[in-house]
């Protein structure tokens, strides 16, 4: 009876259509397989005659889809969101009719222009912080996405490659970069923002990219899971240490500008040395 059930289960699963990503799979198909956590997609890039270009083609598809989705999201978002531009102009009109504004505008010739620029900047900031669709916000997201994807891919790929090779990895730089380009597949999920009100948490995309990067490193370098994890996380650790260093030195630079802080700190160190007295 148990064997029959087992057989039935296996048959049922076997009847699902399984896709094996190989050299003939298109860049978009590879991206879909990577999104479904299929490690064969990275193996296909690794075994390709030009792994770098194959991965890069997938990355371009991801970028294109993400950017088009952002553009459409802006359009549909504007169609379904309150018209902030009307409110903005109403408040601007009310403010410019105030006595204070009139007096300042008469006193200083460039006050009106400065006020207008500040007012526009404030509204842009409000739009960005409030997640309101705006052309400037979408443009800034698109530019950051481009920089994050292309620069992040290259820098992260180089660091990972060095570490993976040091740990015994066997992939070439082209294979590493190609597979890591494909590992950006979870960014495709952000295409859902086309529908107003839909969103994918950034933390989810970040974690999924970690997952796909892990699979990419493990597959192309044929490393053990432990070494793959080390290769995956080391660039993040290096970035974190560098960030802490930068923050500390920026804070130190700021603190050094405060008068009497240095004698106070010296006094405090002296004081703390004698705290054993009590």
Partner 1 sequence: MIGGAQTMKTTVRIYSDVLQGRRETIEALMHSRAGVAFALKMFVIVMLVAGLGQWFGVPVAIQQPLVSERIQQLGDTVQEAGNQIIDAIDEYMNAITRENLPDTLTRLIDDLVSQGVDAGVKALQQALREAGVPPELLDQIMARLFPNEAPISAQVVQLLASPLHERWFMSRFGLHPDQVAWVDEQINAAAGQVNETIDRMQAEAEALEPPLGARTSRLIRLFGRWLSTPFASVSRWLFVALVGLLVAKLLGGRATLAQHLAAIALSAGPAVLFFVAFIPVMRYVLPLPYSMAIHYFGRVLALIALAWSGLILLKTLAVAHDFSFWKSAGVLVLTWLTLWVIVPVASLAALAFVLGG
Please count the CA atoms within 13 angstroms of the CA of 132 that sit on its side-chain side.
14
User: Token pair for residue 47?
Assistant: 């075994």
Pick 128 or 210: Cβ nearer partner 1: 210
Given 99, 225, 259, 263, the residue binding partner 1 (CB under 8 A) = 225
CB of 169 to partner 1, least distance (A): 17
**Which residues in 7-66 contact partner 1 (CB under 8 A)?**
7-10, 12-20, 36-40
Cα-to-chain-centroid distance, residue 159: 18
Residue 238 in the binding site for partner 1 (CB under 8 A): no
Residue 200 in the binding site for partner 1 (CB under 8 A): yes
Given 25, 134, 175, 215, the residue binding partner 1 (CB under 8 A) = 215
For residue 269, what are the CA distances in angstroms to 263, 272, 273? 10, 5, 6
For residue 138, what are the CA distances in angstroms to 84, 87, 135, 177? 16, 20, 5, 28
Quick one: which of 231, 225, 232 has its CA closest to 207?
Answer: 232
Q: Tell me, what DSSP letter sits at residue 17?
A: P
Given 162, 209, 211, 233, the residue binding partner 1 (CB under 8 A) = 211
Separation of alpha carbons 22 and 46, rounded Å? 10
Instruction: Please name the residue that has the structure tokens 């390709």.
Output: 48
Binding characters for partner 1, 127-146, by CB under 8 A (x = yes): --------------------
Residue 263 in the binding site for partner 1 (CB under 8 A): no
Rounded CA Rg of the chain: 27
Pick 129 or 202: Cβ nearer partner 1: 202
Residue 80 in the binding site for partner 1 (CB under 8 A): yes
CB of 53 to partner 1, least distance (A): 25
Residue 207 in the binding site for partner 1 (CB under 8 A): yes
**Which residues in 86-105 contact partner 1 (CB under 8 A)?**
86-87, 90
Quick one: which of 222, 184, 205, 193 has its CA closest to 46?
Answer: 222
**Interacting residue ranges for partner 1, rule: CB under 8 A:** 2, 5-10, 12-20, 36-40, 76, 78-84, 86-87, 90, 189, 192, 195-201, 203-204, 207-208, 210-211, 214-215, 225
């Amino acid at each position: 009876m148990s064997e029959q059930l087992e057989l039935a289960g296996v048959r049922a699963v076997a009847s699902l259509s399984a896709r094996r990503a190989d050299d003939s799979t298109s860049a978009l198909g590879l991206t879909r397989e990577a999104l479904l956590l299929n490690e064969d997609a990275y193996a296909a890039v690794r075994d390709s005659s030009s792994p770098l270009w194959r991965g890069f083609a997938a990355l371009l598809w991801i970028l294109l889809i993400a950017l088009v989705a952002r553009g459409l999201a802006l359009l549909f978002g504007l169609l379904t969101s309150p018209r902030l531009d009307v409110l903005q102009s109403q408040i601007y009109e009310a403010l410019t009719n105030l006595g204070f504004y009139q007096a300042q505008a008469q006193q200083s010739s460039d006050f009106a222009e400065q006020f207008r620029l500040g007012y526009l900047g404030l509204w842009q900031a409000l739009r960005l912080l409030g997640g309101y669709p705006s052309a400037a916000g979408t443009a800034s997201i698109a530019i950051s996405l481009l920089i994050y994807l292309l620069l992040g891919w290259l820098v992260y790929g180089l660091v990972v490659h060095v570490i993976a090779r040091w740990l015994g990895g066997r992939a070439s730089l082209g294979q590493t970069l190609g597979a890591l380009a494909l590992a950006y597949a979870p960014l495709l999920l952000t295409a859902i923002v086309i529908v107003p009100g839909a969103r994918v948490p950034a933390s989810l995309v970040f974690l999924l990219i970690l997952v796909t990067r892990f699979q990419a490193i493990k597959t192309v370098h044929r490393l053990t899971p432990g070494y793959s994890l080390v290769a995956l996380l080391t660039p993040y650790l290096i970035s974190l240490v560098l960030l802490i260093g930068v923050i500390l030195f920026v804070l130190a630079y700021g603190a050094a500008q405060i008068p009497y802080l240095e004698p106070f700190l010296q006094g405090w160190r002296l004081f703390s040395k004698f705290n054993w007295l009590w």
